[in-house]
Amino acid sequence: MQDKKILFVCLGNICRSPAAEAITKKYLTDENLQDKIFVDSAGTAGYHIGQTADPRMIKHASARGYTLDHIARKFSAAKDFPEFDYIITMDNQNFEDIKSLDHINKFSNKIFKMADFCRNIKIEEVPDPYYEGAAGFENVLDILEDGCKGIIEKLKNNALN
Ligand code: 4NP
């Protein structure tokens, strides 16, 4: 497996993308691959910069064994496009927002949708759970577990490109 850097992106960087980060880190650690793949997350919006993850997501994720310790930050086109190999967006708006920051399509081969890595759950995008109840957070975690497993399988086969 090649050394790579993954950045997960959602809107606020307090629910979906820090959960994807924590799930991927746990799966990598379980396979002793944590030193091969650097994982981070960011938001397209800056509403929650400097904050820990949403307490609802922390609660639902920790019940499944994931530790959310990320501090929210905003996506930086200047730094993140060159630094990361895979920029994996949660919903279609996040995807379009990141694409629109790549003015001359220099980094378009790095920009992905999480839904495309899901192998069991067939969805178009990872829905925003912010205004949802407990079931919304559980649904997001089900989707992210499926997608993060798909990402790691592709990385192990050097087939993520
Ligand atoms: P996230 O969820 O994009 O998965 O972190 C949201 C967090 C905050 C808001 C919306 C979605 N908000 O409107 O503040």
What pLDDT tens digit does each residue of the chain (161 aa) get? 889 999 999 999 999 999 999 999 999 999 999 999 999 999 999 999 999 999 999 999 999 999 999 999 999 999 999 999 999 999 999 999 999 999 999 999 999 999 999 999 999 999 999 999 999 999 999 999 999 999 999 999 887 76
Q: Which two tokens stand for residue 101?
A: 């920051």
Choose the catalytic residue: 40, 54, 80, 128. Answer: 128
Closest residue by CA, ligand 1 atom 8: 12
The confidence score (pLDDT) of residue 2 equals 84
User: Which residue among 16, 54, 91, 146 is the active-site one?
Assistant: 16
Phi and psi at 111, nearest 5°, equal: -100, 125
Q: Are 87 and 111 in contact (CB under 8 A)?
A: yes
Q: Which tokens sit at 35?
A: 């030193």
CA angle 108, 15, 110 (to 5 degrees): 10
Nearest CA to ligand 1 atom 12: 12
Mutate to test the pocket of ligand 1, among 68, 88, 128, 140 (most ligand atoms within 8 A of CB): 128
4-156 under CATH 3.40.50.2300, yes or no: yes
Q: Let me know if 10 is a catalytic residue.
A: yes
Give the pLDDT confidence score for residue 159 in this predicted structure.
Answer: 77
Torsion angle of the four alpha carbons 57, 51, 102, 126, in this order, in degrees rounded to the nearest 10 = 10
Residue 160: the pLDDT is 78
